[in-house]
């Protein structure tokens, strides 16, 4: 169709067509057709994610109607970059912005953050998760967003009750707040938050314990049951997540019994001081609960608690990982919780075939079932699940040793909507099982790690029939080789994540096949002893979307292979070069050339000297966010280099 004919189509029609294009590749093809379609895409785009800082200003100038800006993957976002972003040349993009994602923007300071927040009058959501250096000054900057309804501050390690108070007072309209791993927040901060932000609907206070309590050397400021007394006053709260709050006990749950009237979801996993008695109080006061998480906080489910669960007729999801269960419990769930669609039984002791039979006889609507490490389960149970739950979407069977091809036949015949299956360390899985499984053509994620009885023959069946596959784990599948990768390259064109670590039959030929996977973004290939620089060059030249690469123990790759990565894999964000044969010069070249690199593991580089490491660190200083080095270098590297890294928001880890 010529450009003149396209111009005859109204803009409204073109916008409707564009809204049906969901993949990045399709939208890119649309933009390249002609200037008219490119303009339509520019004026209708509401979300952009910046990957390379050199394109930042041009993109902000082009897309002026954006509502969400994601800078989490863009290195070198600091106060200076913010000043340039807000210059008079491109201020228009801020007027409609509602969501700002700054996750892992560790180089940003309180001044730049405040400028951004103040420049966006309609801002409703801010994500600064994993900005581990953020503290109370950054919290005060966020509090300038008076219209904010959602804030994510996970792992902002410096935020204390003072910073939380600033947010509570300045952002009284908050509806969603996540404070996971904010170790310095205590009951005092949570109490003030609940008094000021009474419209809160979603609150996550998981792992709120200070380093002082961890080290047991200073006064603890850990969150206790007193916080639940305050939280119970939140009349609009629907979701409460408090995983790993080890000082919360049954007294706190009793506060909730008569509070939070709209509560639908609660997760108290890994709260070690909680017992069945406290959970009974909680459940008794909230019979409309939809989701419950109580994993790893009980040794077993008591009879009264199981009886109490009968009243939760609206329950759709329950996770009781690591708890001893009985057939009676599963029978109770099957009889009374007819709407349940998700059940987590990972590492539960006492799960039997009979219990599963009772469960699925009443819960035929199950979509997600986690049976990880339920080692007593056999083919009979999985076959029953497959026959009774045709809507199953996700099934996790890691380390279920007695699962064989017999039950996989039933899965492949009946569970045609299955999208995710975990068969890691299931020794009974073989090529026949993969042939049966290939009937699940909707599979997107498949884990076959440590399945040592599968080969290229079975993998070919999956590749030719499961063409929507996006993630595949073949860790230590020792009989997988080049022919299997050839089948993947031919059939699974949408593959984005692949793990072939320690599959030592793979050679450079297999890497050449992988180079045809244009969507590949994550590749783990540890310990591939037969892959040389020739193979990695093929991947570097063709897999332009590659963002995460693990080359640990790939000892036959030399400088020529790493040189190719330095020049052709410009989208790499994470790389593991531990135990690789890279030299000083090429390591420095890689760390300097890979402008998007944010996480590098550089342990046991036998050909690299201390000076080589220092030059490499200087080459990437200012944009890299994490680097892992051998502990022997801790006192050999110049202190000023490490100080500069820390000052610019980079975390150095020692192995």
pLDDT per residue as tens digits for the range 186-234: 999 999 999 999 999 999 999 987 433 443 434 445 688 999 999 999 9
Which CATH superfamily hosts domain 201-209+222-313? Ribonuclease Inhibitor (3.80.10.10)
Residue with tokens 């791993």: 181
Please tell me the predicted confidence (pLDDT) of residue 61: 84
Domains of the chain: which residue ranges? Answer: 201-209+222-313, 545-654
Residue 643 CB partners (closer than 8 Å, separation 6+): none
pLDDT per residue as tens digits for the range 432-470: 999 999 999 999 999 999 999 999 999 999 999 999 999
Please tell me the predicted confidence (pLDDT) of residue 212: 37
545-654 matches 201-209+222-313 in CATH topology: yes
Please tell me the predicted confidence (pLDDT) of residue 91: 62
User: What's the average model confidence in pLDDT over 259-279?
Assistant: 95
Confidence of residue 36 (pLDDT cuts 50, 70, 90): low
Please tell me the predicted confidence (pLDDT) of residue 8: 67
pTM (2 d.p.) = 0.92
Asked if residue 29 has pLDDT above 60, the reply is: yes
Residue 8 CB partners (closer than 8 Å, separation 6+): none
Confidence of residue 88 (pLDDT cuts 50, 70, 90): low
pLDDT per residue as tens digits for the range 603-618: 999 999 999 999 999 9
The total of other beta-carbon atoms located within 10 Å of residue 451's CB is 26
Closest by CA position to 396, among listed 376, 436, 435, 368: 368
What does the mean pLDDT of the chain come to? 92
Please tell me the predicted confidence (pLDDT) of residue 211: 37
Assign 368 to helix, strand or coil: strand
Please tell me the predicted confidence (pLDDT) of residue 13: 74
Please tell me the predicted confidence (pLDDT) of residue 31: 72
Closest by CA position to 500, among listed 529, 534, 543: 529
pLDDT per residue as tens digits for the range 524-567: 999 999 999 999 999 999 999 999 999 999 999 999 999 999 99
pLDDT per residue as tens digits for the range 327-368: 999 999 999 888 899 999 999 999 999 999 999 999 999 999
Please tell me the predicted confidence (pLDDT) of residue 45: 83
Strands annotated E in 311-388: 317-319, 342-344, 368-370
Please tell me the predicted confidence (pLDDT) of residue 4: 58
512 close to 538: Cβ distance less than 8 angstroms? yes
Asked if residue 90 has pLDDT above 70, the reply is: no
Residue 385 CB partners (closer than 8 Å, separation 6+): 356, 360, 366, 369, 392, 395
In CATH terms, the fold of domain 545-654 is: 3.80.10
């Amino acid at each position: 169709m010529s450009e003149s004919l396209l111009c005859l189509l109204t803009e409204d029609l073109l916008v409707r067509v564009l809204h049906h294009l969901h993949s990045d590749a399709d939208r890119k093809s649309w933009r390249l057709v002609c200037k008219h379609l490119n303009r339509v895409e520019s004026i209708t785009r509401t979300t952009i994610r910046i990957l390379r800082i050199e394109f930042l200003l041009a993109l902000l100038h082009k897309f002026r109607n954006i509502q969400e800006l994601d800078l989490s993957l863009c290195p070198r976002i600091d106060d200076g970059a913010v000043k340039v972003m807000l210059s008079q040349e491109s201020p228009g993009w801020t007027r409609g912005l509602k969501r700002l994602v700054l996750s892992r923007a560790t180089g940003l300071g309180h001044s730049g953050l405040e400028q951004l927040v103040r420049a966006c009058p309609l801002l409703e959501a801010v994500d600064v998760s994993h900005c581990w250096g953020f503290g109370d000054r950054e919290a005060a900057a966020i509090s300038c967003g008076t219209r904010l309804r959602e804030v994510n501050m996970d792992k902002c390690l410096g935020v204390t009750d003072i910073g939380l108070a600033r947010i509570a007072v300045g952002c009284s309209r908050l509806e969603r707040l996540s404070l996971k791993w904010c170790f310095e927040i205590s009951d005092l901060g949570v109490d003030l938050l609940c008094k000021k932000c009474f419209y809160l609907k979603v609150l996550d206070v998981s792992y709120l314990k200070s380093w002082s309590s961890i080290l047991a050397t200073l006064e603890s400021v850990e969150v206790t049951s007193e916080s639940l007394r305050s939280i119970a006053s939140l009349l609009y709260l629907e979701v409460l997540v408090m995983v790993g709050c080890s000082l919360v006990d049954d007294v706190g749950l009793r506060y909730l019994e008569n509070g939070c009237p709209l509560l639908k979801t609660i997760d108290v996993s890994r709260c070690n001081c909680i017992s069945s008695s406290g959970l009974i109080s909680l459940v008794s006061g909230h019979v409309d609960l939809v989701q419950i998480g109580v994993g790893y906080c009980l040794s077993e489910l008591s009879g009264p608690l199981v009886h109490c669960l009968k009243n939760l007729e609206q329950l759709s999801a329950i996770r009781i990982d690591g708890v001893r269960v009985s057939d009676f419990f599963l029978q109770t769930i099957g009889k009374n919780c007819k709407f349940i669609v998700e059940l987590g039984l990972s590492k539960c002791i006492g799960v039997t075939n009979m219990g599963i039979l009772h469960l699925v006889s009443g819960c035929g609507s199950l979509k997600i079932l986690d049976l990880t490490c339920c080692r007593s389960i056999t083919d009979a149970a999985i076959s029953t699940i497959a026959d009774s739950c045709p809507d199953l979407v996700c099934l996790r069977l890691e380390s279920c040793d007695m699962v064989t091809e017999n039950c996989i036949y039933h899965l492949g015949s009946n569970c045609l909507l299955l999208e995710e299956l975990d068969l890691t360390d299931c020794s009974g899985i073989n090529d026949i099982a993969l042939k049966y499984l290939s009937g699940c053509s909707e599979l997107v994620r498949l884990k076959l790690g440590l399945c040592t009885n599968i080969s290229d023959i079975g993998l070919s069946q999956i590749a030719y029939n499961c063409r929507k596959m996006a993630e595949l784990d073949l860790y230590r599948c020792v009989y997988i080789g080049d022919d299997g990768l050839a089948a993947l390259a031919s059939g699974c064109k949408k593959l984005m994540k692949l793990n072939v670590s320690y599959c030592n039959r793979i050679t450079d030929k297999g890497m050449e096949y992988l180079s045809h996977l244009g969507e590949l973004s994550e590749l783990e290939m540890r310990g591939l002893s037969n892959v040389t620089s020739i193979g990695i060059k093929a991947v570097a030249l063709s897999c332009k979307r590659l963002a995460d690469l693990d080359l640990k123990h790939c000892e036959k790759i030399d400088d020529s292979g790493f040189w190719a990565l330095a020049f052709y894999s410009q989208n790499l964000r994470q790389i593991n070069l531990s135990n690789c044969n890279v030299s000083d010069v090429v390591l420095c070249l890689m760390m300097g050339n890979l402008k998007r690199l944010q996480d590098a593991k550089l342990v046991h580089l036998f050909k690299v000297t201390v000076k080589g490491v220092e030059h490499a660190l200087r080459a990437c200083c200012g944009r890299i966010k994490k680097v892992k080095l051998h502990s022997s270098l801790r006192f050999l590297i110049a202190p000023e280099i490490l100080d500069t890294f820390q000052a610019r928001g980079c975390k150095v880890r020692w192995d």
